[in-house]
Structure 1
């Protein structure tokens, strides 16, 4: 893995196209990786609503520079595709999103070959998923989260044994307190975290107030509270849904711009993933200790 104080050259290829005959559009993907290193761990990142493979540079660029292969698919809801709301696929996009991530894992050989010099350097046994907002919900399915049907029974298990860890940023909570609009139009926002057993870091802002829920910011802590297994919760003080600006630099929808907050997310997510995917790594303990010892912390961390 890369040393955090060393500048690392990152190579990136886009669009890499994975055939998807039943999707209506082939899957376009961006792959970023460090120019050097072997047995590189993989992060498959799912973007928030409307974004694309070109978003989230503050995370993707950082992770790649720190020694990860970062794979960013463009989901069908992306503004770059311009698919109208009345498209017959719209009610199934939440599910197609999950299938996109699985398709990426199935297509790692193609993705590896698309980046010059990357062939033979990808560690297939060290894979994580990550996502923001709707993308976090998408990623959570591969960790074991399921969607409740109208009868309250959990739907299909879409978890993936190839995934060893997850980073879930501003992941919506339980569906018990949805607004009338969300309850009527977004039936997939009724998750069950009871079977989300894979190790994960949940990141929530304590000023993140969603127009889809009648609850306050604590809604975004549900994935930590209601899931079993090894989980950590990073609660960021004063953070809103963009968590300081992770979707991009100076983007319009960032309402709480904070380079320091983004830098903390970069450090802690990197350390967490190293710890989860490389059992011998000590960065996570050091990062946790640094946050706990900070006299003016940007957030607090809990683990179980």
Structure 2
């Protein structure tokens, strides 16, 4: 009786260059390694780190890494390409010789991916033309301005359009790689890899690069950081404006005016945003019913939860869970 043939590991090429962000290389590599159930078992991936000239390249941290030379690699043997990002002198680094190599060989690859400012490398090859893509929020406007043919999604953690995958900055490369693992080997393997990495949650690509607290901080959170922390801890409590004003030690009228001026939105909208974020996390990571999620996130009842989700996200809670829970619950 013939034995079932073990599938060959998927060969993944991680492209580096002088000035590349270290975590753009190390993050995906570590995530791929974390997909292996145990040492000695059949491997899911064979990884190669390469550069145009080969040998030692210096990352953005100054730490050198050793790479293989691209001319010694047969593109036909490569399943997936991942290119990291880097910047110098206030601009993303786009090595012309690397762009040329990718453009000349891209037809051989099943998937082509970028991490962070690596999207500028893929943009230079023309592979992102007419497609959706993302990059680190700092570079998103520049990517769009210089490449109007690309539909840049500045708030997404990662974007998949056909065989092209792009991600936001730094740790978002891990999120993208977990999504690749899920596509290749299923949700269970991807979640197990996330647990080995001690990643709190495998974040879907449609999620924002900013959590609500980070978004508030980016707007100038001076004077309200403690209030926001208290709000997050009391989402199921009374968070009406008069209660928030009392917590902040201000009159209701002064608080409402100052908060809106500093944060760019009313206190009520801020409360709603925090509760919506909490509800998203529960829908993604638990099997709680919509009614239970509504109560746990502070919305009170399912109708309020549904109304907020349709207005903010364009989908109801059930549709959100179907899209983002990825079959894991």
TM-score by length of 1: 0.32
The structure whose RCO (Cα within 8 Å, separation 6+) is larger is 1
The structure carrying a bigger strand percent of its residues is 1
Structure exhibiting the larger radius of gyration computed from Cα positions: 2
The structure carrying a bigger helix percent of its residues is 2
TM-score by length of 2: 0.30
